[in-house]
Each structure stands twice: as C-alpha cells, then as structure tokens.
Amino acid sequence: TDFWNKENSDCENSSFHLSCCFVLKLNDLQSVNVGLFDQYFRITGRSADHIVTCLTRDSYNTHTFIQQLMAVLSLLARTPSPEPVDKDFYSEFGSKNTGKMENYELIHSSRVKFIYPNEEEIGDLAFLVAEKMDGLTNLQSLNILLYVLAFQVNHVEGSAQNTSLLQPKTLILTSSDLFLFDEDYISYPLPEFAKEPPKRDKYQLADGRRIRDLDRVLMGYQTYPQALTFVFDDVQNQDLMQNLTLDHFGE
C-alpha cells in the first residue's frame, strides 16, 4: 500500500497528521553526521538534493535514531556478516568484517559513514568564541560550559494579536560571556560531493553579553512556559537579550 498517496477520509477529523517532505532511499545513503553534543544529525545522500538536517535538541533522541538506523542498515548490509545477530558495540564495530572506526569516523558494514565531532571542531568553536570575547583570553583556559540549540523569541510589532516568531539559535555559555550564534547545520561539515566551501561561515555571531552585566533571569511566561529571559544592565534602553526557549526545560 502506498501510504503517502492513500486518501484517508479520517484525516480531517484527526488531530495527528503526517505529510511527506523528504524521501531518501537507504541504498542512496552515504553518510550521517552527528552534531556537537548530539544536539542534531545530518543525513547525506549522493547530491545536494539528498541532504536533510534534523535538530533533535536532545542527545537521547539522537542516540535512539542512530541506533535504530544502524539496525536497519545491518539488515540491508551489502556484505553479509558471519557474526551472530546479537552483538555488543565492540563486536559490531571493532571487527573488520562488520565495520571500523578511525578518527571519529565509523564505517558501518553497509558502507555508510557515521561521522562524529572531533577535537578539532570543538577547538575551532572555542577559538571563535575567544575571538568574540572582550580583552585578552587564554584559549587554553577557555571552557565552553554549555552548548545548546535554542529558539529566540522575536515579537512581531504592529500585529493584531500578540504574535511572536521563533528563530533557531545556538546558545553558548562560558565562564564570563553568553553568546547567540546563527549556525549553519546543513552545509558543514562539507559533504564529499562539495566542490567549493559555502559562502558563509558555519557560525555567525547574533548577540553576545558579559555575565557580569547580567541583572536577572526571568523564567517562563504565558506563551512559552519553558522560556528564559535574560535581562542585562550594560546597554541603556535595551535590557533584554531576547527571550530564549530551551527544549530541555519543557517537561
């Protein structure tokens, strides 16, 4: 049965709807990139038309998806494995017959690459953050205390109702500063078929404030109860850094 083309008379009366927005055959899957701190993953096929990034904002959901995907790929593996079905992590990926992991890159038995963030990527992010911080910063002593994919709440002026827009942002907290970045989750790291780097950098600074200028934090409001509002006293007539919603505060 073709589920996506099937007309469902009960769809209009249901509160749950499914719509098809992206289809990628597993045989065309080339690689899976896992984002920093398992906040998102990107699946890549043979061309730019076969790339999709899913922002889970949750390491558990990312891990669950990766494990389920590996299990399905094992059933479709191009090279049959002589090992029994029930295998632990080391027997699954430590054997040359089933896969190998080198330099944060795991090659599954289906030949699909699972690529994880390496120390260089975290170091590049720390260097970028150090550049944006006021004064001289010792890169060796810089610690990124929190990296989380959040939403910035922007209120729409002039609307009939109290309308607000949610824009995805990357929130980074250090021991002295708080930053908001626009992050390109799709173009980086460069896929194998890319012929040239993207025109924009992976991280674009959207806002940054010093922790010592933080006056108070307001927790929640009517529209988004999981939101945090940071109030600073460093800029006259512009106290709010904007409201942020963090999904892991939602439960």
Tell me how far the alpha carbon of residue 250 is from its chain's centroid. 18
> What is the rounded CA–CA span in Å between residue 75 and residue 108?
12
pLDDT the model gives residue 69: 95
pLDDT the model gives residue 237: 46
Strand partners, 169: 150
Burial 210-230 (b: 16+ CB within 10 A, else e): eeeeeeeeeeeeeebebbbbb
Q: Are 220 and 241 in contact (CB under 8 A)?
A: no
Q: What is the pLDDT along the chain (251 residues), one digit of tens a residue?
A: 444 455 555 555 556 566 667 788 888 899 999 999 999 999 999 888 889 999 999 999 999 999 999 999 998 875 454 554 455 554 455 444 445 566 688 888 888 999 998 888 888 888 888 887 765 456 666 788 899 999 888 877 766 566 778 889 999 998 888 999 999 999 988 888 888 888 889 999 998 888 888 888 888 766 777 788 888 886 554 444 556 666 544 43
Structural domain boundaries in the chain:
26-115, 119-249
Q: What is the pLDDT of residues 235-249, one digit of tens each?
A: 554 444 556 666 544
Q: Are 212 and 192 in contact (CB under 8 A)?
A: no
CATH topology of domain 119-249: PH-domain like (2.30.29)
The torsion of the CA quartet 121, 119, 245, 63, rounded to 10 degrees, works out to: 110
What's at 13, amino acid-wise?
N
> What is the rounded CA–CA span in Å between residue 146 and residue 229?
17
Q: Are 244 and 169 in contact (CB under 8 A)?
A: yes
Relative to beta strand 240-245, strand 144-155 is: antiparallel
pTM: 0.72
